[in-house]
């Protein structure tokens, strides 16, 4: 297992550095970046027995992943907000992760195609995420998750739900969340980073924030974090956003939130996207499933 994980990690990291990282550049048109990411999404491996259904929730197009044998409305739904620095990415780019989450957690996973910047800057993504959550929560409990910018968006949504007195999610799963978009907080280069660059992140932050980088709905680590549901944070040592995950975990603990931080040694940004290929990614998804199970059990207690 360890040798196979190491060899696969080397292959995947090399592939990302060759095919993905150069494409995520402020010097390339976002439209081209989106098309390229869509093409690369086909290299992932999907689990058997899980089906995708295209649907609409509250006017937002979504992809829904669940077991083919599912015959009734589930008692809980996992709402997953995809990453992509608010400017790229889509449900398509996250299909392998969504499908493996559905299989491992035993829950339907809904991935919204929320509006992207710069065509639709803040608060468009947050409004879409709210609308989908509102529709899903009317039918049952929701576990809220997201990666990278989607992780920041999930946290911002949970804070908005708290502030407006709405039904909270059972828990939050944040994978390498981008929770501070301020330029002064962009981290220095990390040698092992296989996907991100600070200049690309800064350009995307400007596209999305519309000058509101200090707004806690844009940089949710700046918010009062008290009263949030349990949080599971996962990141890797070899990524730019590891420092933000650590800072968020510390802030959550100070605020009295039940927060668990898992830092994977030698892993890159959102390595969980390689579930079904990388054993350590499968293990991380397994821990997400265990966390989801605890949240559901606590809600029933």
Q: What amino acid positions are annotated as catalytic residues?
A: 148, 239
Cα–Cα dist 80/194, whole Å: 23
Name the phi and psi angles at 162, rounded to 5.
-60, -45
Among 216, 180, 211, 214, CA closest to 198: 180
Cα 189 from chain centroid (whole Å): 22
Closest by Cα among 166, 160, 153, 69 to 111: 153
Distance CA 114, CA 7 (A): 35
191, 238, 247, 280 from 268: Cα distances, Å:
10, 5, 18, 12
The three-state secondary structure class of 22 is coil
Tally Cβ neighbours within 10 Å of residue 118: 14
């Amino acid at each position: 297992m360890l040798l196979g994980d190491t060899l696969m990690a080397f292959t995947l990291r090399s592939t990302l550095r060759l095919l993905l990282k150069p494409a995520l550049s402020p010097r390339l048109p976002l439209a081209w970046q989106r098309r390229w990411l869509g093409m690369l999404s086909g290299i992932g491996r999907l689990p058997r027995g899980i089906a995708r259904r295209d649907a609409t929730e509250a006017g937002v197009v979504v992809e829904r992943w669940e077991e083919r044998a599912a015959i009734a409305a589930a008692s809980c739904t996992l709402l997953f907000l995809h990453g992509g620095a608010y400017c790229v990415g889509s449900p398509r780019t996250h299909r392998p992760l969504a499908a493996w989450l559905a299989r491992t957690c035993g829950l339907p996973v809904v991935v919204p195609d929320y509006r992207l910047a710069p065509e639709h800057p803040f608060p468009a993504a947050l409004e879409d995420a709210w609308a989908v959550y509102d529709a899903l929560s009317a039918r049952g409990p929701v576990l809220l998750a997201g990666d990278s910018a989607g992780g920041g968006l999930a946290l911002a949504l949970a804070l908005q739900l708290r502030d407006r007195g709405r039904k909270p999610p059972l828990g939050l799963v944040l994978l390498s969340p981008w929770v501070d978009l301020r330029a002064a907080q962009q981290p220095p280069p990390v040698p092992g980073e296989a996907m991100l660059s600070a200049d690309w992140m800064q350009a995307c932050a400007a596209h999305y924030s519309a000058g509101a980088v200090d707004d806690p709905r844009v940089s949710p680590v700046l918010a009062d974090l008290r009263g949030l549901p349990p949080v599971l944070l996962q990141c890797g040592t070899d990524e730019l956003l590891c420092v933000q995950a650590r800072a968020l975990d510390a802030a959550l603990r100070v605020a009295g939130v039940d927060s668990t931080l898992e830092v994977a040694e030698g892993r890159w940004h959102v390595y969980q996207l390689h579930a079904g290929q990388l054993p350590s990614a499968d293990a991380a998804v397994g821990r997400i499933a265990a966390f989801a199970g605890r949240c559901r059990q606590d809600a029933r207690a």
